[in-house]
Chains A and B, each alone.
Chain A
Amino acid sequence: MIETQGVSKRYGDVLVVDDVSLSIPKGGFTSIIGPNGAGKSTLLSMISRLTPMSAGTVLVDGMDVTRTPGSVLARRLSILRQDNQTSLRLTVRDLVAFGRFPHSGGRLTAEDMRHVDEAMDYLRLNEYRDRPIDELSGGQRQRAYVAMVMCQDTEYVLLDEPLNNIDMRFAVDMMQLLRRAADEKGKTVVVVLHDINFASCYSDHIIAMRQGKPAYQGTPQQIIRDEVLRDLYEMDIAVHEVNGQRICVYFRMA
């Protein structure tokens, strides 16, 4: 379980994340949604020790993320942010293999290679395996980075807007894959999403943030509702049930 206790982040006078105490259950798929500037990404990067907290504590399975050695945490929790290096002269396979670093310390074993191959299969990267990542399209590169995080093989997988820059087919692919990682491998997937329809269709649990605080939490049935979304985004959003999925329609006001 991931627990935040009174977590805040202050940049100068601006409070980006305001005294957040919440818990994310082990297992399943949790999405964090909310308007721009709600503090979603900042919260995620504090949970994953990338950004220091101004106040509060984050516990991952009871381990304080600021005190636990990085190498121990790296075998329990992985994080991928949106803006990654794009100019590396590194093949896809080499990049993905870095995901084994917390386990192998840089010397790859046969077991590590099995994980690398599996992750590349999983993200359909086999045909690009020997291509340098600076020659890939944005979407392909994004999948290569996700493959790296997948072969890190951690209990908790945290992703900040993994659907950025990728087209619909790969967005669906990516969400299916993350869903499968939660269902088949029992991983705890936590994703910051902008597209509320993806959050609605794939999540077990949704955390809706506004102005640095979690405004609503619950299942998609509880969160993906007209009145909740109107309050959250300050616009009219009509929720329709299509094939058992709750779909939000907001593209053109009537």
Chain B
Amino acid sequence: MVLTSWRSPALRVLLLGVLALLCMVGFMTVNVQTDWDFILQYRGSRLLALLLTACAIGISTVLFQTITHSRLLTPALMGFDVLYVLVQTLALLVWGGSQLAEWAPSLRFAMQVLVMVALALLLFRLLFSGSVRSLHLMILLGMLAGMLFRELSELGARVLDPSEFGISTGVPQASFRRINTQLLGAAAVALTLGGLLLLRWWRCLDVLSLGRDITINLGVAHGRVVLGIMAVVAILVSVATVLVGPTLFFGLLIANLAYWFTGSQRHCWTLPASVLAGIICLVGGQVLLEHVLASPLPLALVIELAGGLLFIALLMRGVRQ
């Protein structure tokens, strides 16, 4: 019954799903020349990393936009990605490289996620307690926070003594070109835990988009639920950043693609749509650039460019309204 109309969100999400699946098949099979074992392992782990990234960024961006009632603000724009990078550097500073190296990488990751959640909640309360009312001021503050965190983490890296700096540069900042496949397992576990945590508030999500007053009127403990969801966002941002490094406009792009394509505000549609749009952009984009166009352009650049243009368009529309 839900599938009868072309306009139904269910059908559209299904369509996105099929497209995403095609992209994944393409990613694994296009231009296979060497032996399959190697391809499966090499491409498979990269594909898994891209899927986890799409999940983490897609879900965290839609959630963040729901609790901030904005289609413009994203965790990346507010500097949360870079905050995680800062946490990584601080961990090196505080515990020292040699001690840290003895810890299992996944344990280190878990510690960093916990610190990240605490700092993200603090930053969120600082910015979104109602004292900043202008959207533009909020964006400026977010960019400022991002710059501050970036400078701080570079400063931190310089303060480290040469041997520890060696560790920090020996494990370079992840990016789409240097996907960190070492932590795939830990990232998958963190993503699952974040998802399970989100289930607690699943039914409140749609209510939250009605605004604070109506949310409270309908009996949802607004402040507590928002902080809980922000904690989930912080976990997901950590997952994405540890795998592919900080992004800027990617989340904005896929979340808005999801709203536009489903034409709905219901999280049961926008969340999967945003994840699937992310998979199509990342995995499909990679296939297109690397194999079909044989272009030397890095995928991240193309995606951030498209996202940046969308950001400007959304900003202009907001100004005109």
Q: List 29 A-B contacts (CB under 8 A).
A: A48-B217, A49-B216, A50-B213, A50-B216, A70-B219, A73-B219, A74-B218, A74-B219, A75-B219, A79-B217, A81-B213, A84-B213, A84-B214, A85-B69, A85-B209, A85-B210, A85-B214, A88-B209, A88-B210, A88-B265, A89-B259, A95-B210, A98-B210, A99-B218, A101-B219, A105-B203, A148-B214, A149-B217, A152-B218
Q: Does B105 contact A (CB under 8 A)?
A: no
Q: Does B143 contact A (CB under 8 A)?
A: no
Chain A residues whose C-beta falls within 8 Å of the C-beta of B259 in the assembled complex: 89
Residues of B202-226 whose CB lies within 8 A of A: 203-204, 206-207, 209-214, 216-221
Chain B residues whose C-beta falls within 8 Å of the C-beta of A101 in the assembled complex: 207, 218-220
Contact B206 A106 (CB under 8 A): yes
Chain B residues whose C-beta falls within 8 Å of the C-beta of A152 in the assembled complex: 217-218
Shortest Cβ distance from residue A93 to the other chain B in the assembled complex, whole angstroms: 13
Chain A residues whose C-beta falls within 8 Å of the C-beta of B204 in the assembled complex: 106
7 closest A-B pairs (Cβ-Cβ)? A74-B219, A71-B219, A106-B203, A102-B219, A70-B219, A101-B218, A89-B265
Closest to B219 in A: A74
Shortest Cβ distance from residue A208 to the other chain B in the assembled complex, whole angstroms: 25
Give the residue among A90, A105, A149, A152 with the most B Cβ atoms within 10 A.
A90
Chain B residues whose C-beta falls within 8 Å of the C-beta of A84 in the assembled complex: 210-211, 213-214
Q: A70-B219, A106-B203 are in contact. Are A89 and B210 (CB under 8 A)?
A: no
Closest to B264 in A: A89
Contact B220 A70 (CB under 8 A): yes
Shortest Cβ distance from residue A36 to the other chain B in the assembled complex, whole angstroms: 21
A50 to B79 Cα, complex, angstroms: 30
Shortest Cβ distance from residue B288 to the other chain A in the assembled complex, whole angstroms: 30
Contact A79 B207 (CB under 8 A): no
Chain A residues whose C-beta falls within 8 Å of the C-beta of B206 in the assembled complex: 98, 106
Q: Does A57 contact B (CB under 8 A)?
A: no
Shortest Cβ distance from residue A92 to the other chain B in the assembled complex, whole angstroms: 13
A-B contact count (CB 8 A): 67
A73 to B210 Cα, complex, angstroms: 18
Closest to A145 in B: B214
Closest to A104 in B: B203
Shortest Cβ distance from residue A115 to the other chain B in the assembled complex, whole angstroms: 14
Contacting B207 at CB < 8 Å: which of A69, A98, A149?
A98
A78 to B206 Cα, complex, angstroms: 18
Contact A102 B218 (CB under 8 A): yes
A247 to B217 Cα, complex, angstroms: 34
Residues of A35-85 whose CB lies within 8 A of B: 45, 48-50, 69-75, 78-81, 84-85
Chain A 129-150, CB-CB to B under 8 Å as 1, else 0, gives: 0000000000000000000110
Q: A85-B69, A89-B264, A105-B203 are in contact. Are A79 and B219 (CB under 8 A)?
A: no
A50 to B223 Cα, complex, angstroms: 11
A89 to B209 Cα, complex, angstroms: 10
Closest to A148 in B: B214
Give the residue among A99, A101, A107 with the most B Cβ atoms within 10 A.
A101
Chain B residues whose C-beta falls within 8 Å of the C-beta of A106 in the assembled complex: 203-204, 206-207
Shortest Cβ distance from residue A85 to the other chain B in the assembled complex, whole angstroms: 5
Shortest Cβ distance from residue B259 to the other chain A in the assembled complex, whole angstroms: 8
Chain B residues whose C-beta falls within 8 Å of the C-beta of A73 in the assembled complex: 219
A81 to B214 Cα, complex, angstroms: 8
A50 to B207 Cα, complex, angstroms: 16
Closest to A77 in B: B217
Q: A88-B265, A89-B264, A90-B265 are in contact. Are A74 and B211 (CB under 8 A)?
A: no
A73 to B222 Cα, complex, angstroms: 14
A70 to B217 Cα, complex, angstroms: 8
A50 to B212 Cα, complex, angstroms: 9
Chain A residues whose C-beta falls within 8 Å of the C-beta of B209 in the assembled complex: 85, 88
A106 to B210 Cα, complex, angstroms: 14
Q: A88-B265, A106-B206 are in contact. Are A78 and B69 (CB under 8 A)?
A: no
Shortest Cβ distance from residue B87 to the other chain A in the assembled complex, whole angstroms: 33
Q: Does B263 contact A (CB under 8 A)?
A: yes
Contact B219 A98 (CB under 8 A): no
Closest to A94 in B: B266
A71 to B220 Cα, complex, angstroms: 6
Chain B residues whose C-beta falls within 8 Å of the C-beta of A74 in the assembled complex: 217-219
Chain B residues whose C-beta falls within 8 Å of the C-beta of A48 in the assembled complex: 217
Contact B219 A80 (CB under 8 A): no
Contacting B217 at CB < 8 Å: which of A69, A78, A95?
A78
Closest to A103 in B: B219
Chain A residues whose C-beta falls within 8 Å of the C-beta of B264 in the assembled complex: 89
Residues of B24-60 whose CB lies within 8 A of A: none
Chain B residues whose C-beta falls within 8 Å of the C-beta of A75 in the assembled complex: 219
Chain A residues whose C-beta falls within 8 Å of the C-beta of B212 in the assembled complex: 50
Chain B residues whose C-beta falls within 8 Å of the C-beta of A95 in the assembled complex: 210
Shortest Cβ distance from residue B183 to the other chain A in the assembled complex, whole angstroms: 35
Residues of B247-299 whose CB lies within 8 A of A: 259, 263-265
Shortest Cβ distance from residue A43 to the other chain B in the assembled complex, whole angstroms: 15
